[in-house]
Structure 1
Amino acid sequence: MPTDLKPIIELRKATKIIENGNERKVILDDVSLAIYPHDFITILGGNGAGKSTLFNAISGTLELTSGTVLIDGIDVTKYSPEKRAAHISRVFQDPKMGTAPRMTVAENLAISALRGQKRTLKWRNIAKHKTEFASLAKQIGNGLETHLDTPTGNLSGGQRQALSLLMATIVAPKLLLLDEHTAALDPKTSVALMTLTENLVVRQKLTALMITHHMEDALKYGNRLIVMKAGKIEQDLTAGEKSQMKLEDFYRIFD
């Protein structure tokens, strides 16, 4: 891992324990992780490995039992998800979770463009941004640019997920969390969205974590690969180490 760079995001001994009566379950187990500028980290692991728990700990939607979360060296462990949202964007597996269904595509983009700013009613004046939004949407290649005035709830799943990705990156976040964002899409749409994802990450020089169950995507994308099991990070592979692996090596991870 880099020695001359400071982490953008860092977890130190992050632990989450759930207790229900006599049952005690550790869902995140003493996880330490440093995420550096321009890292594109793919994350693999079976069900219950702790992948989404890790994302929830970073975004603040899950309070840690113990441990620390830092952004640019500042302890944000007690910060609310809303306060962290100025720095962190997330695209969920369900296309319905990232957008407001009754608002138009342009309105959703306009709100996202205000991330990290004090919001006022001025965002409703979006006519002057239509050309910019159309150009942004056109890069997707699925016709979204022709639906700027369409309520988001009327879009296809693929269009809505692509919109979620644009919304998450219209203002470059310190960290982009991709929570199995292609899992609910058909194979063709999934490939198109991953191409868009890589283009955005590379062009905007973003820092990103991506949970995926697609072994091919874990092999193809990113400069690091993290393997999780039972709430722990089992492996943290560099690009060089990952390039030596084959698909069958990935499948053995789940044995």
Structure 2
Amino acid sequence: MKKIVELKNASVVVNNGFDEVKTILDDVTLTIYENDFLTILGGNGAGKSTLFNVIAGTLMLTSGSISILGQDVTQLPAQSRAKYLARVFQDPKMGTAPRMTVAENLLIAKFRGEKRGLVSRKIQDYTDEFQGLIGKIGNGLEKHLETPAGLLSGGQRQALSLLMATVKRPDLLLLDEHTAALDPKTSQSLMALTNQFVQGDQLTALMITHHMEDALKYGNRLLVMKDGKIIEDLSQAEKAKLNLADYYQIFE
């Protein structure tokens, strides 16, 4: 199986400013294979966001290594890893440019990671393509191709962020509690849309969630983190045997 991301003995140690050293990622070894859809559960301080940040390159390892598609990226900064990764954040405001229209946001996403010169953007050449893309969403976004992203609802803006993250197929999609800021109904709709995108385009995805129901329902692997360690790495078959009560027991 093709390895997309491989972490070996990955640790992050930080100083909190009071001469107190804390390990926030503790000797983690993890392989993410092509077409994996991993969900990650864990309490506050478990290391979930730290794991995302070391993969994305926004936080460097203290020790250990990380490779993407077989290339050692341990020392590479976030901008050098951007060609591999796309990320949807918890805050709907973080994934889009508020003063730019939906079409303009999609145009930026379409050419993510490519070198661009000072040439006309010719956005009109992509109008039909972008209209077709937002037509898949089904939450009214199809009426807002020329609307600035800052005027969209939270659900529409997060759906746009998801679309932007996947319009140019990433090697790894990072979903950072991307439904947490939404109301339950909108959250469920976005989660169903996410699964549709991941399965339909055969993406490789890593998703942090606090919703145990989503962890049960979605993905082929479940990671449970505690104190900077991965304490469980469950396959789809193992996950299918568990219920919510079993999940709560894992955290005891």
Do they superpose with TM above 0.5? Answer: yes
**1:125 positional shift:** 1.4
Q: State the TM-score, normalized to the length of structure 1.
A: 0.96
Runs of 5+ unmatched residues, structure 2? none
- Give the drift of 1:122: 4.0
SS at match of 1:29: strand
Match of 1:83 among 62, 66, 80: 80
Which residue of the other structure, out of 188, 199, 216, is the alignment partner of 2:213?
216
> Whole-Å Cα distance in 1 between the matches of residues 13 and 120 of structure 2?
41
2:3 is matched with which residue? Answer: 7
- How many angstroms apart in 2 are the aligned matches of 1:121 and 1:145? 30
1:109 counterpart residue number: 106
Listed one character per residue, the Cα deviations across residues 75-127 of structure 1 (whole Å, up to 9, x for unaligned) are 00111111101000000000001011111110000000001311234463111
Query: CA contact under 8 A between 1:111 and 1:123: conserved in structure 2?
Result: no
Query: CA-to-partner distance for each residue in 1:179-207, whole Å, 9 max, x for gaps?
Result: 00000001111111011101110111100
| Aligned residue type for 1:12 | K
> Is the contact between residue 179 and residue 211 of structure 1 (CA under 8 Å) also seen in structure 2?
yes
Q: 2:12 aligns with which of 8, 13, 16?
A: 16
Task: Assess if the C-alpha contact under 8 Å between 1:61 and 1:81 holds in 2.
Answer: yes
Where in structure 1 are there 5+ consecutive unaligned residues? none
How far apart are the structure 2 equivalents of 1:121 and 1:40?
38
Which secondary structure state, in structure 2, belongs to the residue aligned with residue 35 of structure 1? Answer: strand
User: Alignment RMSD, CA only?
Assistant: 1.0
Alignment counterpart, residue 34 of structure 2, candidates 24, 33, 37: 37
Q: Which amino acid is 2:192 matched to?
A: T
The answer as to 2:205 corresponding to 1:204 is no
Q: 2:51 corresponds to which residue? A: 54
Distance in 2 between residues matched to 1:45 and 1:61, nearest whole Å:
21
Map of 1:246 onto structure 2: 243
What does residue 117 of structure 2 align with? Answer: 120
Residue 121 of structure 2 aligns with an amino acid whose one-letter code is R
**Cα gap change, 1:123 to 1:175, in 2 (>3 Å):** farther
* In structure 2, C-alpha distance between the alignment counterparts of 1:225 and 1:134, rounded to whole Å: 35
- Structure 2 distance, partners of 1:121, 1:80, is 25
Alignment match, 2:164: 167
**For residue 178 of structure 1, what is the aligned residue in structure 2?**
175
Q: How many residues align?
A: 251
Distance 2:118 2:95 in 1: 21
Whole-angstrom CA distance in 1 between matches of 2:107 and 2:118: 11
Q: Percent identity?
A: 64
What is the CA distance between 1:21 and its match in structure 2?
3.7
Q: Does the C-alpha gap of structure 1 residues 250 and 121 become closer, same or farther in structure 2, counting only changes over 3 Å?
A: farther
Contact 1:93–1:180 under 8 Å retained in 2 = yes
Q: Aligned partners of 1:176 and 1:109: how far apart in 2?
A: 17
**Residues 145 and 122 of structure 1: CA distance in aligned 2, closer, same or farther (over 3 Å):** farther
Return the alpha-carbon distance in structure 1 between the equivalents of residues 80 and 226 of structure 2. 30
- Note the alpha carbon deviations across 1:210-249, whole angstroms, 9 max, x for none: 0000011000000000000000000000000000000111
Counterpart secondary structure, 1:10? strand
Q: CA deviation at 1:138?
A: 1.1
User: Partner letter of residue 7 of structure 1?
Assistant: K
**Alpha-carbon contact 1:107-1:124 (below 8 Å) kept:** no
| 1:133 and 1:145 in contact (8 A); partners too | no
C-alpha distance in 2 between matches for 1:96 and 1:139: 21
